[in-house]
Amino acid sequence: MGLTIAEKIFDAHRVDRPAEGIETIRLDAVFCHEITTPIAINDLMARGKDRVFDPGRIKAVIDHVTPAKDSKTASQGKVLRDWARRHGITDFFDIGRNGVCHALFPEKGFVRPGDTIIMGDSHTCTLGAFGAFAAGVGTTDLEVGILKGVCAFRTPRTIRIDITGTLPEGVFAKDVILSIIGRLGVDGATDHIIEFDGPVVSAMSMEARMTLCNMAIEAGATCGICRPDQATVDYLWPFIENAYANHQAALEDFKSWWPDPDAVYAETLVCDVSDLEPLATFGYKPDQVRPVREMGDVVVDQVYIGSCTNGRIEDLRAAAAVLRGRRIHPSLRAILSPATPKVFRQALAEGLIEVFMEAGFCVTNPTCGACLGMSNGVLAEGEVCASTTNRNFPGRMGKGGMVHLVSPATAAATAVAGRLTSARDLR
Amino acid sequence: MRNFGGKVLFLDRSDINTDEIIPARYLTEMTKAALKPYLLEDLALEEFDAARDLAGVGTIVTRANFGCGSSREHAPWALEANGIHLVIAESFARIFRQNMFNCGLMAVALAPETIARLFERFSGRATRVAVDFPGMLFEFTSEGIREEVPFTLAPFDRALVEAGGWVEYADQRY
Ligand code: SF4
């Protein structure tokens, strides 16, 4: 019987079956940030188990609230910083070098096809774009990961989604994943891994695949996953050039993770995107999705571009292409948080930051910031935000605030128009 | 092992997410106890009043996909800080469900028909549930009415509840 990508990864990492249907796997990496890790650290200390399984396999970043906004967030950063020093965790990214975890860690080359990764953050599923099994976990799982380098999961079951057709001009990976979530529902993939495949995925950049996998959790999935291919090799090449004779050799090796032709899926869906339009969410759940054109007249108070979903260079390029030579509507404010320092620098070098600033955007340092309503652009009660992030839950970006999830191009067009508008309809 | 059962709070909505259970703005807290006042502060449910409705509650009964969204274990901790050790629902989001058992708490799924019947018979009334853990049985009672509902736990979940959580379990085993 053939195997899916996740099944192959589990086979290569299984250390135990503690009970029927449960598999404990060895972890290649444990990623950490300052919101969920300090509690794990404090708890390990309280239990007299302040140890790490392998400092070289632990990567940590301060990204959610940075620079610290108050004494409490400063303490969270300090607990993480002190711990990293104490245990010789050298891949620790403090202010000046930090960025949104799921954008930063791939950029540093910390993810490989076939890897197993956990992090105390639900959007860890982003990293499946590289053909890795990467799952968000809670603090207790994180603690055990830090201590023992293992984590237990249910035996993987995979939903395969073949994305076919041609992506129309002005429609992006964000619109694709919103449409898929709309179709699956917020629990349509619970306890499953989603394998994204098909010609549209093969044609996507790694950035776009990360956007796709990022929101797999919004359909309840444990992980989104893409087969590693030439694009994966090219992206990772600077980090793997010593391991392989050439690109071709790397690709051959990566292919060992490809799903078998006779792999067994819990479900297979085909999603033709040829007629897809720019989409937006309309309610408080990410599966409440409809075309921007059918949204009616939605006046917006704030536009936010950034996050692990859409804060990468391609996203900034798409938004800047809409903004070039235009100004944001006087009735709203707009914020850009490039996801990492590298993205920020590249955007500077390409003149994109100038475009955003000319248009009237506030540009912040790389951080999660407004995405989870902790800093850098929190909404007031009753305010409406068009955002390139991944969650429109009640209060997500500020108590009493409303969030419409959109692509960077739609966010930029909305900033210019003052109301929800796709770039196609911008006059 | 914890105490399970007590006064029941019925939350008649699906897809209650972890941002509603404990909003991100309180994730700066580094102790469980500090989360206590903020449980369900952003719950989008008409006529729900956290201050009034959470008093003395030990168990939540709700609909589908409870705990979706963020991985924050603050969600089970905020429940625990309020004395809520048991959530009964049609279904749960994966991470939330695992977090509950990892903490030695219980997230028990029952068939949609059973949940619907519990809502019909008991919601809006003062209801308590008693839990017979070895017998895997809930007993719901309210002024003169009573219903026994069997439940099942996967062996691994049961082991975590008995061990008091995943850290001790894993440290001994791996
Ligand atoms: S950008 Fe938003 S969704 Fe992504 S890790 Fe940060 S807070 Fe979470």
Q: Is B170 on the interface with A (CB under 8 A)?
A: yes
Contacts of A136 in chain B (CB under 8 A): 71, 95
- How far is A217 from B32, CA to CA, in rounded Å? 25
* Structure tokens belonging to residue A171: 């429609």
* Side chain identity at residue A370, one-letter code: A
Number of domains chain A is built from:
3
Instruction: Determine, yes or no, domain membership for A218.
Output: yes
The pLDDT of residue A427:
77
State chain A's mean pLDDT as an integer. Answer: 97
The pLDDT of residue B2:
86
- Indicate yes or no: CB of B91 within 8 angstroms of CB of A190: yes
Nearest by Cα to B133 from B153, B156, B112: B153
Task: Decide: A389 in ligand 1 pocket, CB within 6 A.
Answer: yes
Q: Is A239 in the same domain as A325?
A: no
> Predicted confidence band at B98 (pLDDT cuts at 50, 70, 90)?
very high
- How far is B62 from A44, CA to CA, in rounded Å? 33
Q: What is the 3-state secondary structure (H, E, C) of chain B?
A: CCCCEEEEEEECCCCCEHHHHCCHHHCCCCCCHHHHHHCCCCCCCCCCCHHHHCCCEEEEEECCCECECCCCCHHHHHHHHCCCCEEEECCECHHHHHHHHHCCCEEEECCHHHHHHHHHHHCCCCCEEEEECCCCEEEEEECCEEEEEECCCCHHHHHHHHHCCHHHHHHHHC
Q: Which of residues 131-160 of A touch B (CB under 8 A)?
A: 136-141, 143-144, 147-148, 150, 152, 154
Query: Per residue in A95-147, pLDDT tens?
Result: 999 999 999 999 999 999 999 999 999 999 999 999 999 999 999 999 999 99
The pLDDT of residue B30:
81
SS3 A226: strand
- How far is A175 from A423, CA to CA, in rounded Å? 13
Nearest CA in chain A to B27: A35
CB contacts < 8 A (A, B): 151
Q: Whose CA is nearest to atom 4 of ligand 1?
A: A308
Atom of ligand 1 nearest to the CA of A33: 5
- How far is B107 from A303, CA to CA, in rounded Å? 38
Q: Is A289 in the same domain as A366?
A: yes
The pLDDT of residue A385:
98
* pLDDT (mean) for A262-282: 98
- How far is A9 from A156, CA to CA, in rounded Å? 10
* pLDDT (mean) for B34-56: 94
Beta bridge partners of B68: B17
- How far is A407 from A413, CA to CA, in rounded Å? 10
Decide if A170 contacts A137 (C-beta within 8 A).
no
Position A422 pLDDT exceeds 80: yes
Query: Per residue in A65-80, pLDDT tens?
Result: 999 999 999 999 999 9
Q: Which of B18, B70, B171 to mutate to test the interface with A (most CBs of A within 10 A)?
A: B70
The pLDDT of residue A98:
98
Q: Is A228 in the same domain as A341?
A: no
The pLDDT of residue B168:
79
Helices and strands counted in chain A (H then E): 15, 19
* Side chain identity at residue A1, one-letter code: M
The pLDDT of residue B32:
84
SS3 A85: helix
* Structure tokens belonging to residue A34: 């300052």
Q: Is A253 in the same domain as A320?
A: no
User: Residue A101 C-alpha to ligand 1 middle, in angstroms?
Assistant: 8
Residue with tokens 């309840």: A220
Q: Is A228 in the same domain as A133?
A: no
CA angle, B61 then A21 then B169, to 5°: 75
* pLDDT (mean) for B158-165: 90
Query: Per residue in B74-83, pLDDT tens?
Result: 999 999 999 9
Q: Is A150 in the same domain as A189?
A: no
Nearest by Cα to A306 from A14, A64, A8, A23: A64
Q: Is A150 in the same domain as A31?
A: yes
- How far is A191 from A157, CA to CA, in rounded Å? 7
Position B124 pLDDT exceeds 80: yes
Q: Is A360 in the same domain as A389?
A: yes
CA angle, B54 then B58 then B61, to 5°: 80
- How far is A325 from A348, CA to CA, in rounded Å? 17
Instruction: Determine, yes or no, domain membership for A10.
Output: no
The pLDDT of residue B1:
84
The pLDDT of residue B174:
86
Decide if B36 contacts B82 (C-beta within 8 A).
yes
CATH number at residue A198: 3.40.1060.10
* pLDDT (mean) for B32-60: 94
Decide if A243 contacts A251 (C-beta within 8 A).
no
* pLDDT (mean) for A256-271: 98
> Predicted confidence band at A214 (pLDDT cuts at 50, 70, 90)?
very high
Q: Percent of chain A at pLDDT above 70?
A: 100
* Structure tokens belonging to residue A282: 């309309």
User: Residue A122 C-alpha to ligand 1 middle, in angstroms?
Assistant: 9
What is the extent of the structural domain holding A241? 158-272
CATH code at B5-173: 3.20.19.10
Nearest CA in chain A to B101: A140
Decide if A146 contacts A53 (C-beta within 8 A).
yes
Q: Which of A42-46, A241-245, B87-91, B106-110 has the lowest mean pLDDT?
A: A42-46
User: Residue A408 C-alpha to ligand 1 middle, in angstroms?
Assistant: 16
Q: Which of A45-59, A276-290, B26-40 has the lowest mean pLDDT?
A: B26-40
Phi, psi at residue A277, to the nearest 5°? -115, 165
- How far is B151 from A352, CA to CA, in rounded Å? 58
Beta bridge partners of A302: A333, A385
Position B164 pLDDT exceeds 90: no
The pLDDT of residue A252:
98
Q: Whose CA is nearest to atom 2 of ligand 1?
A: A371
Instruction: Determine, yes or no, domain membership for A314.
Output: yes
> Predicted confidence band at A352 (pLDDT cuts at 50, 70, 90)?
very high
Query: Per residue in A297-349, pLDDT tens?
Result: 999 999 999 999 999 999 999 999 999 999 999 999 999 999 999 999 999 99
Number of residues that this document lists for chain A:
427
Residue with tokens 């992090």: A119
> Predicted confidence band at B172 (pLDDT cuts at 50, 70, 90)?
confident
Instruction: Determine, yes or no, domain membership for A1.
Output: no
Q: Is A285 in the same domain as A394?
A: yes
> Predicted confidence band at A294 (pLDDT cuts at 50, 70, 90)?
very high
Q: Is A262 in the same domain as A289?
A: no
Q: Which of residues 67-86 of A touch B (CB under 8 A)?
A: 70, 72-73, 75-76, 79
Please name the member of A70, A148, A220 whose beta carbon is closest to the beta carbon of B174.
A148
* pLDDT (mean) for A156-171: 97
Decide if A21 contacts B159 (C-beta within 8 A).
no
Q: Is B155 on the interface with A (CB under 8 A)?
A: yes
- Distance from the Cα of A75 to chain B's closest Cα (Å) equals 9
A129, A154, A179: which is the final residue of a domain? A154
Nearest by Cα to A104 from A366, A427, A392, A413: A366
State chain B's mean pLDDT as an integer. Answer: 95
Instruction: Determine, yes or no, domain membership for A5.
Output: no
> Predicted confidence band at A354 (pLDDT cuts at 50, 70, 90)?
very high
Contacts of B25 in chain A (CB under 8 A): 373-374, 399
Q: Is A378 in the same domain as A419?
A: yes
Instruction: Determine, yes or no, domain membership for A115.
Output: yes
CATH number at residue A374: 3.30.499.10
Q: Is A345 in the same domain as A394?
A: yes
Instruction: Determine, yes or no, domain membership for A6.
Output: no
Decide if A338 contacts A308 (C-beta within 8 A).
no
HSE at residue A238, side-chain half, CA atoms within 13 A, is: 6
CB neighbour list of residue A248: distance below 8 Å, 6 or more residues apart? none
Phi, psi at residue A250, to the nearest 5°? -65, -45
Q: Is A125 on the interface with B (CB under 8 A)?
A: no
Nearest by Cα to A57 from A18, A11, A26: A26
Nearest by Cα to B68 from A220, A402, A188: A220
* Structure tokens belonging to residue A154: 């249910």
Q: Is A19 exposed, middle or buried (0-12, 13-18, 19+ CB in 10 A)?
A: middle
